[in-house]
Structures are given as C-alpha cells and as structure tokens.
A and B are shown apart, each in its own frame.
Chain A
Amino acid sequence: MFKTLKRACLLTLAVLFILTGCEKTEQSGPQKIAVVISTLNNPWFVVLGEAASKRARELGYEVTLFDSQNDNAKETDHFENIIAAGFSAILFNPTDADGSISNVRRAKEADIPTFCMDREINSNDAAVAQILSDNYSGCVKLGQYFVEKVGEQGKYVELLGLVGDNNTWNRSKGFHSVVDNYPGLKMVAQQSADFDRNKAMEVMESILQAHPELDAVFCGNDAMAMGAYQALAAAGKADQVMVFGFDGARDVIDAIRDKKIMATGMQFPKVMARTAAEMANEYLNGRRDFDQKIPVAVELVTQENVDAYTAYGKAQ
C-alpha cells in the first residue's frame, strides 16, 4: 500500500510538472514580435506584413511572419504557437471581425499585447489598439467621384470582398451611402469575389453573360478591379465600362496612369504597419494609454491626380 501511495504521489508530481511546464517559455536575447497576416496571397497584404516586420526589426525585435491563408482555424493555430513560444507582442491583421476576437483574448490572457492592422475586430477590450483604414469615408469619396464620372444614369456591377471582413461592408456601405441617392444608377449585379483577382475575373465573365450592357464596375479592392478589367478586356468592353477599385496597389496605380482604370482609394498599409510596430514598442517600454481605434484616412486617386501617388502611398 505504501508503494502504491508513493507511486501515485510521484505520478501526480510528474503530471503537475508537465502541465506547469506548458506555460510561456522564458526567453533570453531580443524580444520577439509576431506579425500575423490574413493572407500573403495578395500583394497588398504582403506589403502590410513586410512593412510591419521591417519596422519591428528596426526597433530591435526578432520578427516572425505568419500567414493565416484567410483561414480562421489556421490563424488560431498561429496564436497558440505564438503564445507557447513566448512572443512579446502581436501585430495582427484579422481574418474575421468576430471570429478573431477569441484569439486576441487568449493572447491578452497570456499577457501578449495585440495591435490590429487594417482590419478590426468587433471588440473594444481585447486588442491594445486597432489601426484601421477609414474604408467607409474612403468609399464615400469614391462614390461621389463615381457619380461625377458615370453620371446620374447608368447600370453598374459591384464586386464585394470577403463577406466576413468588416472592410467589405464598410466599403460597400460607404459607396452606397452616396450612389443609392441617385435612382437612375442601377446596380444590376452584386457578388462576392473574395478580394481575389482570378475569382473576380470569373465572376465578371459570368455577369457579363447576363448583363452585356454596363457602364461601370465598382470593386471592393484593387485585385478584383484588375480581374474585372481583364474580363472586360477579353470581352472587348474595356473602353466602354469604367472600373473603380480600392487599395492603392501597384498594378491599379499603373492602370489609372494608363487610363485603363478610373480610380482607387489609396490606403496606406505602410503607415498602418509602422504605427502598429511603434505602438507595440511603446507598450513594451511601459506606455498604456492608447486609443482603441485609430482610423487612417483613405485618399482618392484618380486619373487627374495619380502622379501624386505611387503603389501603397504618396510619391516622394
């Protein structure tokens, strides 16, 4: 009996030792920052991730870049690994405004501050700060320009982004808050192409079958604008149908300059990324008074003012 008791105690101690050993590992050397990006399959997000990584390294941190591949489950795995590996902060581009909240809360419980970039989570007390593109106001400006160029009569199509992303709806609602005031402007189709160029091309091809006579297409991001333009070009309609995008990506800025695309909303991924990295650094050095939500203004880039801009920012 005594032997049994002794074995039981040793086993208990072993189990307790293993469980407590699963806590965050202590680290020596430079602190580590994790940069978690929704997808690295889109050049805009590559710029966001690389700019955040670069600034964090400049500030003296070791950086690891994680690609969530637009998959909330994969994002959750990343967070679990980040927490287990003892990262000091997370610069985060969420996959889902609601679905990503629990990941940020788990990091918070593990004393790892999270700074959201570009996309928000629908919570005010999980992330330390959220540096967001002011997509709605950007698309209000774009909507006004759309009406100016297309006129108050016409048929148009809208290609939406990922439906789980608040940015999709911020952009769409901003656009419609203007355009829906003009009853002569009719939206003949509205479909999601998931912010993806290839999908946008396929969706646009199929929409053109049903609606061959169009005046304009509004796309929730530049990748889809390029896909839509490709479909229109293939159908011989690129000169008849105006295309509007959103992001400020290189290929669309070039296409605006070449008068193929009408306009885009310039977001500033490098500004958001650098700001997030700097805030993380300030937090790790003791600062705690951060505004929860920090919108970054979006600027309208048109064929008239495109020379003032370059990919993802202002021309120097």
Chain B
Amino acid sequence: MAKLNNKLKGLLYLFLAVLVLGLSIRLKPLDEIKGQSQKKFNAGEYALDFWNRSLPRVLDSAADMENLLALLESDKKAAIETHGKSVGIGAQYSFLVRGSGTIEHVASKGVVLSLAPSHNDTVMIRTRNFFSNAIRDASGVVNVSDFPSTMEFNEISGEINKIVQQQVVADHLDLFETGKPLEFVGAFELDENTRKTTPIEIIPIRINSPLTGDR
C-alpha cells in the first residue's frame, strides 16, 4: 500500500511538473519571429514593372505645366492640394506634368525649355545627374508602407532614374538642340516653403518632338 502511495505521489508530482513547464514555455516557428520571407527585394525589377505597367496608367492625370506654374504663383496652396503628392510629413511635394516648348539652350545638367504657348516661363528638362524621388512620388502608386524596410522604397527611385537616363534621355539625344521644339511628360519636386528663383527642373518620363511624332 505504501509503495502504491509513493508511486501515486510520484505520478502526481510528475503531472504538476509537466503542467508548470507547459504553461511557462511557448514555442514559436522561427519564420514568425523573423516575420519576413527570405526573398530579397529586387529594386530593378520593381522599377521596371512600375515603369511598364503602373506609371503609364497615371500619365493622363499629368497637369499642364504652364497652367500649373501660373497657379503656383497665384495660389500655391491650391496648386499643391490639387496637383501635388507627398509622402509622409514635410514640405516636399511632387507633381506629374506635361507640356511643350522650344529649347532655349542646352546646359550641362539639361535643356532649358521656353514653355508654349506663351513662352513667358522656362523649365529645365534634366538630362544628367538627377537624384530625385519625383517620378516615384508624383505617380502616387508606390506606397512606402508596403515595404518592410524603407531602404527598399529608397532604392526604387535610383532604379527609376537609371531607366530615365538609359532609355528616355539616351533615346532622344538628337532632339536636344537649341531652337528645336520638344514635348514632354515628367515630374518635379517642390519645397512648399522655398521661393524658387531658378527654372523648375523636370525629370522626363516621355519626350518627343512634335515634328517627328511619338517616340
């Protein structure tokens, strides 16, 4: 009988030990702790897909550049509310624009265009060494919250700018001559608090000559 009691005691204490351990240890899969899949983000592929699929769908919403400049002058707040896009908190806004004009001169950074129809304003179409987030942000289709690391979001602009340099600019070098007409769709960034005195610098998305048609 004593032996049976001892065995029973042993079993009960074992049961208690298992119960205590079970309640105090939690096992979780490593994937859940890491929280992310192992697939590495490819900014180049993302940018190409953005360029070929997402961006063309929003280009029709581009504001007329000459009208936008007039609105920025007369009512900056309205211009920003109607046409500007921003990411997060700050005074920086990006705009998607279209326009046409005549090349006044070719500078090292880009071509200076006198805007049609009035030719009262000039803009610069950047052709070299541009580092802007304008196209990514002005499109409104790339959401920073979709990326676990903001470095992935950051890399997209760099890849988009490479596409601009290697495709848009490189394919149209023959159009960049003083006196030639140019049509463009592009994007630029503006700091709400800065009064810009130099021509607004536009990163081109599409360029063509009205003389030779779409390219």
Interaction A to B: yes
A interface residues with partner B (beta carbon < 8 Å): 1, 4-5, 8, 11-12, 15-16, 19, 97-98, 101-102, 105, 120, 122-126, 131-132, 134, 136-137, 140, 143-144, 166, 169-170, 173-174, 177-178, 181, 271, 275, 291-297, 299
From the candidates A4, A102, A143, A299, name the one contacting B9 in the complex (CB within 8 A): A4
**Once the chains bind, are B89 and A105 in contact (CB under 8 Å)?**
no
B107 on the A face (CB < 8 A): no
For B89, the closest partner residue in chain A by CB is A296
Q: Given A293-B150, A295-B88, 12 other A-B contacts at CB below 8 A? A: A1-B4, A4-B9, A5-B8, A101-B34, A166-B149, A173-B155, A291-B144, A292-B145, A293-B144, A293-B145, A297-B88, A297-B90
**Once the chains bind, are B131 and A295 in contact (CB under 8 Å)?**
no
- A-side contacts of B27, CB under 8 Å: none
Separation of A123 and B33 alpha carbons in the complex (Å): 10
Query: For the side of the interface on B, what is the size category?
Result: 35 or more
Q: Can you show 9 pairs from A to B with CB atoms below 8 A apart?
A: A8-B16, A134-B150, A143-B131, A293-B144, A293-B150, A295-B90, A295-B144, A296-B89, A299-B91
For A178, the closest partner residue in chain B by CB is B131
**Once the chains bind, are B12 and A123 in contact (CB under 8 Å)?**
no
Separation of A70 and B15 alpha carbons in the complex (Å): 43
Interface of A, helix, strand, loop or mixed by DSSP: helix
B5 on the A face (CB < 8 A): yes
Separation of A170 and B8 alpha carbons in the complex (Å): 64
Separation of A115 and B113 alpha carbons in the complex (Å): 46
From the candidates B8, B36, B158, name the one contacting A122 in the complex (CB within 8 A): B36
B19 on the A face (CB < 8 A): yes
Interface of B, helix, strand, loop or mixed by DSSP: helix
Given A1-B5, A275-B89, are A120 and B149 also a contact pair (CB < 8 Å)?
A: yes
**Once the chains bind, are B89 and A4 in contact (CB under 8 Å)?**
no
**Once the chains bind, are B16 and A122 in contact (CB under 8 Å)?**
no
For A135, the closest partner residue in chain B by CB is B150
User: Would you give the shortest CB distance from A19 to chain B, in whole angstroms?
Assistant: 5
From the candidates A97, A126, A299, name the one contacting B149 in the complex (CB within 8 A): A97
Separation of A137 and B86 alpha carbons in the complex (Å): 13
**Once the chains bind, are A173 and B88 in contact (CB under 8 Å)?**
no
B29 on the A face (CB < 8 A): no
**Once the chains bind, are A297 and B89 in contact (CB under 8 Å)?**
yes
B67 on the A face (CB < 8 A): no
**Once the chains bind, are B89 and A174 in contact (CB under 8 Å)?**
no
- B-side contacts of A11, CB under 8 Å: 16
B42 on the A face (CB < 8 A): no
Separation of A271 and B155 alpha carbons in the complex (Å): 25
From the candidates B20, B129, B146, name the one contacting A15 in the complex (CB within 8 A): B20
For B133, the closest partner residue in chain A by CB is A137
- B-side contacts of A137, CB under 8 Å: 92, 133, 154
B213 on the A face (CB < 8 A): no
Separation of A4 and B15 alpha carbons in the complex (Å): 13
- B-side contacts of A97, CB under 8 Å: 149
**Once the chains bind, are B144 and A12 in contact (CB under 8 Å)?**
no
**Once the chains bind, are B12 and A5 in contact (CB under 8 Å)?**
yes
User: Would you give the shortest CB distance from B163 to chain A, in whole angstroms?
Assistant: 15
- A-side contacts of B16, CB under 8 Å: 8, 11-12, 15
- A-side contacts of B155, CB under 8 Å: 173
- B-side contacts of A166, CB under 8 Å: 149-151
